[in-house]
Amino acid sequence: MAEKLDHMTRILANDGITIGGKEALEQAGFEVVTESVPQEDLMEELKNFDAVLVRSATTIRKELIDGCPNIKLIGRGGVGMDNIDVEYAREKGVEVINTPAASSESVAELVFAHLLGLVRFLQESNRNMPLTGDTDFKGMKKRFAKGVELRGKTMGIIGIGRIGQATARIALGLGMKVVATDPFIDKVTITLNIEGASDVSVDINTVPMDDLFKESDFISLHVPGDGNPVITSKEIAKMKDGVGIINASRGGVVKEEDLLKEIERGKVVFAGLDVFENEPKPAINVLMQEQISLTPHIGAATVEAQDRIGLELAEKIIAYFST
């Protein structure tokens, strides 16, 4: 329960907040500051605030929590909270919130942006056309003429929570078969909202991970990062030859050294990465591998998702400080 404050509640949105979220908070009587404070100055500055909002750029660790006992709430715009010492904050009586539902569709669409591009060699074509498109057009046409269709293929989803389900929804809409594995979920019902027609529901029963490896043509990961990779050469050895792997969850979930090795030997035909082990400085050998489609951690970076994130944060903050 929130402690009643004897002053206007001040919130530092250190990694920003949408106009809609800021306006909702200000209309509810909060003061919202959006000027970003460098990490090294944050402890001193936070002594003037009651709550802090972050995304992935700012970290909130034990020392900061101990040094700012005035902070009543920490908000994370997005799903993952690995940049916050969540349990420690809660032990200290600090409310910690995030927005797990706001960006699901955006991340799922990025997964398929990578996948659709990869099966038709768009990432390689876009790199090479400006270089040799005018001198080797016929050669490139032949090189990139062996694309495959997604319809009828099997999409394996590791982690069938909100984002995994959104990914499954798109896969089913494209005519793919979906298999999923999740240590906490036995069954989900995926509902396809089809414009101009009745909704269609599909039940998906989760399977052991090894079964998913055997069946899947493509694999997408939607799991929290805990420092231990989910996919290494050991797991890839259990997959189909020519598998494609997409990681838009957390850096380190896929061991990049092993991924590169398996691409080189042809076991993995391609990969799509939105997250990396060494953010914000991904390994150069990963960036230079033409069979990897690359984006700079933009899974939730759509206008619509950011609007939802800002409004969801505002609603939760208002509710907390109103109790």
Q: Which residue numbers are catalytic?
A: 250, 279, 297
The span from the CA of 125 to the CA of 144, in Å, is 8
Answer left, alpha or beta for residue 93, where phi above 0 means left and psi between -120 and 50 means alpha: left
Beta strand 154-158 with 218-221 is parallel
The span from the CA of 84 to the CA of 76, in Å, is 8
Q: What Cα–Cα distance (Å) separates residue 163 from each residue in 156, 195, 218?
A: 13, 21, 16
Burial profile 196-235: b = 16 or more Cβ within 10 angstroms, e = fewer = eeeeeeeebebbebeebbebbbbbbbbbebeeebbbeeeb
Q: What is the torsional sign of CA 54, 58, 62, 68?
A: negative
Q: What is the torsional sign of CA 80, 85, 87, 93?
A: negative
C-beta contacts of 287-293 below 8 A and 24+ residues apart = 289/260, 289/263, 290/123, 290/124, 290/127, 291/124, 291/263, 292/123, 292/263, 293/114, 293/117, 293/118, 293/122, 293/123
